[in-house]
Amino acid sequence: MRILLIEDEADLAEALRRTLVEQGYACDVAPDGYIGKHGIENWDYDLVILDLMLPGVDGRSLLRLLRESKATPVLVLTARADVQEKVSILDDGADDYLTKPFELSELLARVRSLVRRSVNQPTSIIDLGGVMISMAARTVKQAGVLVDLTPKEFSLLVYLAMRQGTVVSQADLYNHLYADGEETASNVVAVYVANVRKKLGKEIIRTRRGMGYVVGE
């Protein structure tokens, strides 16, 4: 899952970025509205976290822009907690909001919820036959036994699992697992797929020659 974080406060952005990455997301940070706008226009993020207090392009108009162009879910961060503000934020198109200061755990839960929503995944448990993925707990169980996956492996599996039955191209997988500027080897996706197969068995992820990977079916 690739997230765009539009936040100008450097220390806050770094704390959030690190946490999201550790949770297995790919995270791009835009330090102002202009770069944020550019990012939104040129990329298909799975989620945008937008801080309303932004230099450059006004956060609200950015929100509206997002709403008009893409279906990407938007989580808004705002310092104002009054009802009027909340109402207008939601009416302007935000899918969810969080008032600063917030608990990190709450942010993560809301992120999970929004990502689920974006693929119509109603609960945080995905059942892939023998394999049960709990997104909230970030655990994978096979036949009831806990299997240890690295964050990137987990992300890859979840990304495919949320699109059960759909073939996802390698390029697509790559773009949704890695942020701009992250250095990777060119076959990194294949490596991760192999890793997951090693831990959960070959059938968990199927290859469709020339098209990509698929889970389930």
> Where does this chain bind other proteins (CB under 8 A)?
8-9, 11-12, 14-16, 18-19, 22, 31-32, 53-56, 77, 79-80, 99-105
- Tell the smallest beta-carbon distance from residue 71 to other proteins (Å): 28
Spell out a b/e string for 92-115, using b for 16 or more CB atoms within 10 Å of the CB, else e.
bebbbbbeeeeeeeebbebbbbbb
- Tell the smallest beta-carbon distance from residue 139 to other proteins (Å): 16
CA 150 – CA 80 distance, rounded (Å)? 37
- Tell the smallest beta-carbon distance from residue 164 to other proteins (Å): 29
- Tell the smallest beta-carbon distance from residue 201 to other proteins (Å): 29
- Pick between residue 19 and residue 166 the one whose CB is nearest to other proteins: 19
- Pick between residue 55 and residue 129 the one whose CB is nearest to other proteins: 55
- Pick between residue 19 and residue 164 the one whose CB is nearest to other proteins: 19
- Tell the smallest beta-carbon distance from residue 188 to other proteins (Å): 22
As a whole number of Å, the CA-based R_g of the chain is 18
- Pick between residue 107 and residue 214 the one whose CB is nearest to other proteins: 107
- Pick between residue 105 and residue 186 the one whose CB is nearest to other proteins: 105
Alpha-carbon separation of residue 106 from 3, 45, 88, 116, 161 (angstroms):
16, 21, 22, 15, 24
